[in-house]
Structure 1
Amino acid sequence: MEFRTLGRSGCAVSALCLGTMTFGHESDEKVAHAQLDMFAEAGGTFVDTADVYSAGESERIIGRWLASRPASVTEPIVLATKGRQPMASDPNGAGLSNRHLTRALDASLDRLGVDSVDLYQCHSWDALTPLDETLRTLDGFVRAGKIRYYGFSNFTGWQLTKAVLLAQQLGLAGPVSLQPQYSLLVRETEYEIVPAVLDAGLGMLPWSPLGGGWLSGKYRRGERPTGATRLGDNPERGMEAWDRRGTAHTWDVIEAVQGVAEARGVSMAEVALAWITDRPGVTSTILGARTTDQLEANLRAAGLHLSAEETSALDEASDPRPVDYPYGPMGVAQRNRTI
């Protein structure tokens, strides 16, 4: 397992992160604890959760694991959670206000059974709460010792840049990370979000690096999924829905990944994870697995690096190919001052 610093901080984390959105829903406690054990045994140290995952049950499961394992196992763990999403039906039961975040963090610490977390993340932007209120609240958490660092998730480029600059202007602790959706199937993140991350010197933590399972090779062109897979259970599930994501471009990317995997003698998942983990600005790639077998397969990507030729082939196949300004060739040329 390789290690990288978390953005501008001095905190080292494993280049693969265990995501726990499945805990308490798709993975029961026994399976979840087995995944945590496997991840730690493989040298993984970075674990990511959120208060909204299974309505807090993911955090409780992690808390019971932390309490039941020896310090030699739990001490290296860098623990991250998130707050912002609705956890109550009252008007202040969501958002990035001081009131909600304070209650949300205290509740997360209680469920996790810890006095502090290493990384606390705002789960998404809040258009109702003044940004300075959110940043002052996060700075207060750092000063109180409740969190060591903070970051954001699902922020756009301008939102991230505004937060970074405002924190500097106010003399507050600044963010160290951003958690966006990013994969060979979602490279639009590179238009504005990745440049904003690089400009601010933050660490990027990509979620859904396998495109909701599409890049693992579990689906076949023209064969609507059935059985014990996410889309087999519900073909219209979320962003990775079969009819939404099953485009000609997606299948072209899958074929390119398959070609590299076969030539390398590794799985498609390993190739897709290696590609994203070595993208500029990426600190740690978040793995999501329903079973220990899936996690074991994904962990084989640890330390795998693609050649320049392999990376170029995947870049070419996965290029979203915007055709017009500002992201098409004309816009790129203008930004790079080549015309």
Structure 2
Amino acid sequence: MAGAAGKVRVSRVRVVRLAGLSLRVRPREVAVTIALAVALAVLTGYALTVGKFPIPVPDVLGLLAGRPGPPGADYVFWTVRLPRVLTGLLVGAALGVSGAIVQSLARNALASPDVLGFSGGAATGALLQIVLLGGNALAVAFSSLAGALATAAVVYLISRRAGVSGLRLVLVGIGIAALLSALNRYLLITAELDDAFRAGVWLTGSLLNRTWDHVTIVTVAVAVLVPAATLFARRLGLLELGDETSIGLGVPVGPTRLALFAIAVGLAGAATAAAGPVAFVALAAPHVARRLLRTPGPSLLGAGLVGSVLLIGADLVGQKVFPVSELPVGVATGALGGCYLAVLMGRRWRGGSLR
């Protein structure tokens, strides 16, 4: 990722003196962060009003304030609409932060939880639950989370044998992801028709029919792991400089890398458990955040905000472009992300680097 960061023009730093204190701030970073937060608030508010049962803005505000709405609006808002929007917002944030951590740890602009096999492991866990054990949506979500954690443990342990490095982590992850992909296909083709259909729907990645259980899963992950990630933010930036430099600057590389790896896995696993495999958000959000904020290192807050904006925006596109049969958000992000990945690889190829 260092290579990618080097191609982004860094914003200027200004010293602000307030009540006898000197603070170093980046005006562009502050302004863009506020703009992203406003854009997210607007998209979230709009998403609460649209759908097959539109709810006007005054009624939405009334429902949030605890006042009764028009006939049917209470059920639609509290049982269908709000859980869907909150799940999308939190899943996008979790994927964005997870992607930023993974790219910095791997020092590779093309690394993401998808590439390292975390999403494939989550899919395997969900498929095993659906095909072999059955169970409700909550059981599938927890099995998905367990699959992601187990896959991450295997990837890390194999990579660690010869010393964890960015390239080794990516290569091992790609290999594990390929094996899991083959296993997932086998589970699909040998499953009963009803189970295969249910699994296929889950594998597309969707915010449809989300419940408060899904919201709870990703809320707990974001509330616990994102603050933990911010505590390691400075060390994460130093790790991008390489192990020797980080050690020279006093960073305990091994424990720091393991802690950040666990945080990234937890966020990606919880996001996949709540919404299914949503492609490319974790890959694209950190890139977009860096280019908008022009920070010298990873911006976890920026990546989280961009991830939420991308996911809520993609869900709205899926609802508006295909109003009769909604396009699953995973399909929308996959199409947009594929185009973004092609452009990114083309630019880096012309620049002579694919690091």
Shared fold (TM-score greater than 0.5)?
no
More helix by share: 2
More strand by share: 1
Q: So what's the TM-score if we normalise by structure 2?
A: 0.24
**More contact order relative to length (CA 8 Å, sep ≥ 6):** 2
Q: So what's the TM-score if we normalise by structure 1?
A: 0.25
